[in-house]
């Protein structure tokens, strides 16, 4: 077992990076003065992983959409007792999630940490599926899918992804469809589990009031050694242009919702490139920007306005969202602001302000054990060093931000998704 202490002298912070003999990567971030502990056990397997094979196999396997999320639900259900009932006895607060590119199981606690960690490592490594329990779960998740079909915030987001992407599986709802989950059976679940829940494809991250040796003792006791295997994933080719320019849906909302996206050419980005893009968005649409204040003063947006750089395996886009009575005018103002920066350049003052804002938020995130553990997991699956984000912001050159502006904010690759109130329907 290899153990390394990773330290950032400027921040006065450190964590342990451990290559466990089982094949699992473990990160432990002790915060001695904290009263709580947060642990997350994740696998690099999400909703977009519907086509794959193990290295050496001839044929790719194509599985139904929504199976990663389905598998997440089923793992909590043990042969004798479900994991939530076990956690209830330790007092831990437990949850799980499936995203586009990962599935994660987590808990937080203030006491009986060791017992809760044993539960986490046990049930995630102990799949139990039968035809009867799979059929029952199909009904439960089917209801969940129908519920999200009527959720305005969910629909405005996924309608935008469908407008931006023609073929990439990121356009498909994480839970799949009622039709796709009907194709799932116990054998398929076991097949996906064996492929993606190999410990070499996973990571455990723990932050808070924790003893490193205690975590490793539990890991030694609970982890089942696995043989390393290489997963090859296949994604369909994606055209550079957007799939659809504009999508409108009517749902019961009090104010119209909008999501505006600019499709970027996908490539594996360095931390510096990601930080440059985030700085660019802060300059363009942050609370001190000309765009934000114009939109606010004209009553085109309210405090719900947000923006993000949406990136993952095989996809990247810039997304703006919020509520507005005139979403098309908001889109026009965003395009105008982008073209203005391309023509006139970025002021040094705006650039420095954005850097300070990003760095301040990054540092403040270290006050949350949840943010730390999730950040460690994200860094691991992105092949980026956790403290690297701080250095990438502190040392960020303005030229890199300008490059992102010209390379990735192409207003010809913009799409808009709007959810309008039903009563406006004619």
H/E stretch holding 4 reads strand 2-8
- Among 173, 321, 171, CA closest to 244: 171
What's the order of all strands across the beta sheet hosting 2-8?
2-8, 13-19, 25-30, 202-208, 37-43, 103-109, 93-98
Task: Let me know if 72 is a catalytic residue.
Answer: yes
Q: For residues 302 and 179, give the distance between their C-alpha atoms in angstroms, rounded to a whole number.
A: 38
Q: For residues 205 and 56, give the distance between their C-alpha atoms in angstroms, rounded to a whole number.
A: 31
Q: For residues 309 and 290, give the distance between their C-alpha atoms in angstroms, rounded to a whole number.
A: 20
Phi-psi region of 332 (alpha: psi -120 to 50; beta: other; left: phi over 0): alpha
- In Å, how far are 26, 123, 194, 240, 300 from 42, measured between CA atoms? 11, 13, 15, 32, 40
What's the order of all strands across the beta sheet hosting 231-233?
61-62, 51-54, 231-233
- Among 67, 53, 133, 64, CA closest to 98: 67
* Catalytic choice (4, 13, 65, 72): 72
Structure tokens at 99: 């995203």
- Among 317, 347, 332, 331, CA closest to 409: 317
Structure tokens at 275: 């930080």
Query: Strand 61-62 and strand 93-98: pairing?
Result: unpaired
Are 96 and 105 in contact by the 8 Å Cβ rule? The answer is: yes
Structure tokens at 115: 């017992």
Q: For residues 313 and 273, give the distance between their C-alpha atoms in angstroms, rounded to a whole number.
A: 15
Residue 309 class from Cβ within 10 Å (0-12 exposed, 13-18 middle, 19+ buried)? buried
CA 221 to chain centre: 30
Which residues does the annotation mark as catalytic? 72
């Amino acid at each position: 077992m290899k153990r390394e202490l990773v330290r950032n002298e400027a921040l006065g912070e450190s964590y342990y990076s451990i290559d466990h003999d089982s094949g699992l990567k473990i990160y432990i971030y002790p915060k001695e003065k904290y009263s709580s502990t947060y642990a997350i056990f994740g696998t690099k397997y999400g909703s977009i992983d519907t086509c794959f094979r193990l290295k050496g196999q001839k044929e790719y396997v194509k599985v139904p959409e929504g199976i990663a999320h389905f598998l997440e639900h089923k793992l909590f259900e043990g042969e004798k007792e479900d994991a939530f009932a076990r956690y209830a006895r330790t007092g831990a607060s437990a949850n799980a999630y499936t995203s586009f590119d990962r599935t994660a199981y987590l808990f937080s606690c203030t006491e009986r940490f060791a017992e809760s960690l044993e539960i986490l490592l046990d049930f995630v490594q102990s799949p139990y599926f039968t035809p009867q329990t799979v059929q029952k779960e199909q009904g439960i998740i089917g209801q969940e899918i129908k519920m999200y079909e009527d959720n305005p915030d969910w629909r405005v987001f996924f309608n935008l992804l469908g407008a931006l992407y023609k073929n990439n599986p990121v356009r498909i709802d994480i839970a799949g469809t009622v039709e796709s989950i009907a194709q799932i059976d116990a054998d398929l679940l076991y097949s996906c589990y064996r492929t993606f829940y190999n410990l070499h494809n996973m990571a455990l991250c723990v932050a808070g009031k924790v003893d490193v040796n205690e975590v490793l003792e539990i890991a030694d006791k609970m982890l089942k050694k696995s043989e390393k295997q290489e997963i090859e994933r296949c994604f369909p080719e994606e055209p550079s242009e957007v799939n659809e320019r504009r999508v409108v849906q009517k749902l019961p909302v009090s104010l119209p919702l909008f999501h505006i996206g600019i499709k970027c050419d996908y490539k594996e980005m360095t931390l510096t490139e990601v930080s440059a893009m985030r700085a660019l968005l802060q300059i363009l649409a942050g609370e001190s920007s000309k765009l934000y204040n114009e939109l606010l003063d004209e009553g085109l947006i309210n405090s719900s306005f947000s923006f993000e750089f949406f990136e993952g395996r095989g996809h990247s886009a810039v997304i703006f969202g919020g509520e507005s009575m005139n979403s098309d005018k908001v889109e026009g103002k965003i395009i105008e602001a982008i073209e203005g920066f391309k023509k006139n350049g970025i002021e040094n003052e705006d650039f420095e302000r954005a850097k300070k804002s990003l760095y301040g938020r990054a540092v403040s995130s270290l006050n949350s054990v949840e943010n730390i553990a999730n950040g460690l997991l994200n860094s691991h699956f992105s092949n980026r060093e956790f403290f690297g984000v701080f250095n990438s912001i502190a040392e960020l050159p303005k030229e890199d931000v300008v490059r992102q502006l010209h390379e990735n904010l192409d207003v010809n690759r913009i799409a808009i998704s709007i959810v309008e109130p039903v009563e406006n329907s004619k």
